[in-house]
Structure 1
């Protein structure tokens, strides 16, 4: 006996990945519904070897459905998530709407699986920000061994994190570089993204940090440990898919690079590729379509006591969004609902 599953936002980048991953991982589905806004009504999407026609989320009745994976943004989620939750359907939400709600668990299954028990307060579970998800997967096993005091992270985030229109903008601007008669002014991004980097993701806050940077701080504390100090600089780069992060970690105890490498090799969800030679590391192009969070460039930081540096790469549409949501659904099924 399987589950009746809803994917809301099924025509977007993340929604399509959710459908792909549900099929790839053979999630026990008895029935599946693909929802979208009215303007996308009837659009066809793939689920394994099946083709689904999207239904209108506004008219959809969630009664009798078990799990809903939401990838529709905060404003729409504000309307439809409570409706689904009230109908008895557990919502796994990819937006930022519920991440900081103390009554909603924020889950990365490799890091804080036990927090799943708190879902029943609102029948909603939050999926973290894409840049946070891959970082805490890397930090968790090291924190368990030597207790992390402080993290300094710089991100190199792909345009797919801003949606399909952002990917189109990069593509069109890149083509225009080679066509002197063409001009593609920025619309999605504040400046040209092709052949450029932009140190600005989401809105600026009064503190001077962007909201994306604030999210990494707040979410790491909620998921992993409120005592960890985090400072982030988040940068958009001209890469279609795959987020990269340069992470500097200060521990309370000594942890040498060889032990850290061994710990990470044994940790769930992580692949270590760390050879000190040209090409002996992973780049975003190589991680696309993969489930793993890749770790490379593990080395001591000699400028501080108990310091390490590492390079972390992951497919942001997968571990940063769709895969993590499906893993939460798997965790929910195995620990709580227990149908499959």
Structure 2
């Protein structure tokens, strides 16, 4: 896209305003520009000579108003704009994923198939895809539509298109309702693991409020790219998040000393999260021991170079509280446990 095409392009809001909606202030933007650099040739400016600067200019400089808004984004060279859009695509997002019922296939009154499951989510699509054509074109180089489904029944085939945008290099997959994936033997669970393994997902967050994390222990050991595992607890329904565009986030817990009910719940929640964390770490250690045993058995067919190469590295396991729409979620799920 040429600079003139960019200037005449019709959008609902200016790119500068759209950047602010993403969370990038003018200060962040300029910092990003400095970090990204540019392949453009920028002429060197002559050194500043304080003796040639008029007194009036000095007075004007002292009264200069610092702008909070970056209003010249459209005037930047297209190469630099594209680098900025690319930078925006690597801002981490919390992408929630769960499975939902599509319906029941009924052949007769007495013969029917179980409800067909498909993958869904509450979170909004990446903002960069809705700013302008230039931003969307760059964004689609980094975000992929994932988690489509396909199932073959004896009388009909059913499929759902992928509808969840993910950049696996930086986005965190958040399982708000892990029970919706069923057991580790069900297709919806196995397909989720397959996609994470094939795409190299790096970050995963799991709701452990109802001890629903056990099937996901194997998930966390299924691929080498996983670097971070966040454990949190919540018993919310989450249905109110549908089409609401309410963001979710995570914060670290804090110790209290349990002087009142809220502080007691905080301590109880931390205790339950630490138990789940201990479970994962113990099973990670068992997994590593199993890998070492397998390597010792296969040593005769393994070169010296391959022997020193680790097969799997355990992800960092952290405990956090869920934040929904800027408000920390209740710790009531830990009451009485």
Shared fold, TM over 0.5: no
Considering only CA atoms, is the larger Rg found in Structure 1 or Structure 2?
Answer: 2
